[in-house]
Chains A and B, each alone.
Chain A
Amino acid sequence: MSNTINLAAYLRSYADNKESVTVKGKTIQECLNYLIKQHPGLKKMLFDQDGQLHNYVSIFAANEIVYADQMDKPAKDGDTIHILYIIGGG
């Protein structure tokens, strides 16, 4: 069982400039936990002090948004998970 997490460009500097990271986990939350174990700098970018997903971070799995209250959604083997951090420059 493994999944690929794709990081939006903004987040790559917190993950050794990697575009994607291979993770393992039964749920989206477990996949993100695996990611943070490998790249601890991402933790504060994605979660608040209580471990809640920031409301300006968007997670996509199987090409659908996974909202903060759906993090226990199963991660299907091979699915790509995308993590977006909001950007607002113009």
Chain B
Amino acid sequence: MLTPEDKQRYDRQIMIPGFGEAGQEKLKQAKIVIAGSGGLGSPSAIYLAAAGVGTLRIIDHDKVELSNLNRQVLHWDKDIGRSKVKSAAEKLTQLNGRIRVEAIAQTINDMNVAAMVAGFDVIIDALDNLPTRFLLNKAAIDHGIPFIHGAVYGLEGRAMTIIPGQSACLRCLYQGIPPQEKFPVLGTTPAVIGCIQATEAIKLITGIGVPLTNRLLIYDGFNMKFTELTVNRKKNCEHCGTKKGRQL
């Protein structure tokens, strides 16, 4: 139930057609995993906390480094050397004391991924590496949890929403991983993409709007252009295709 304080706090979004108090109640009950609390995870977590998502589970094994601060806006000068999830949880609970923030300072691997996501409503892909993205993509499909992909490089960003059993997944889009390298990034790029991911999560929970499914949205900050490419499900996709005995 929404309290009188909730109704006041979230008044401007409750006003959105189709959102209403029912939408706010759904957000209050929602549980979202944010995998990564860096460039993408920071803006995503800030806006999900501000919107009143009841439970946020933030997973990141890293400690805050000076070179993170150009983009990871949840972490500040004073946090250098601290656990990122502790730093994130501190800011998020100051922003909104009515939500629950779970800080998990662990590396996601194939042994623990199921426990990390089980029982949650949405997973935000705010990671900084490809192997774990694929691991999480597969776990999301196996558990039937919507997965919101985001990735950045320089001034380029990409986002896609994956609804298991219904829409194309990350593995339908790419089937492999190139050699890992340190990536350049301007802070505003993950800010754009992280906010798109948070928007998608809020839409899925409240049931408003049209999700970014079967469409890869590409942000080109150099030319300030958005491009959308259709991504259909790959018949023999290793993660979501018929190869695994699933129906398309």
Q: Is the CB of B40 within 8 A of A67?
A: no
Total A residues in contact with B, Cβ cutoff 8 Å: 22
B226 within 8 Å of A (CB atoms) = no
User: Which residues from A are CB-within-8-Å of B172?
Assistant: 65
- CB-CB under 8 A from B234, the residues of chain A are 65, 67
A85 to B38, CA, bound (A): 22
B156 touches A65 (CB 8 A): no
The number of residues on chain B lying at the interface, defined by a beta carbon within 8 Å of a beta carbon of chain A, is 40
Contact of A88 among B175, B183, B232 (CB under 8 A): B183
B158 at the interface (CB under 8 A from A): yes
Chain B residues near A86 (CB-CB < 8 A): 130, 151, 174, 176-178
Once the chains are docked, how many angstroms separate the CA of A47 from the CA of B68?
A: 33
B178-A89 in contact (CB<8A): no
Given A19-B223, A56-B175, A58-B174, are A89 and B218 also a contact pair (CB < 8 Å)? no
CA of A90 to CA of B74, assembled, Å: 14
Interface digits, B9-35 against A, CB 8 Å rule (1 contact, 0 not)? 000000000000000000000000000
Does B154 interact with chain A (Cβ within 8 Å)? yes
Partner among B152, B154, B176, B216 whose Cβ is within 8 Å of the Cβ of A54: B176
Q: Is A87 located at the chain interface by the 8 A CB criterion?
A: yes
* 17 A–B contacts from the bound complex (CB under 8 Å): A8-B218, A9-B222, A10-B153, A10-B156, A56-B175, A56-B177, A58-B173, A64-B232, A65-B231, A84-B216, A86-B174, A87-B156, A88-B129, A89-B152, A89-B185, A89-B190, A90-B151
B residues within 8 Å of A by Cβ? 36, 38-41, 126-130, 133, 150-156, 158, 172-178, 183, 185, 190, 216, 218, 220, 222-223, 227, 229-232, 234
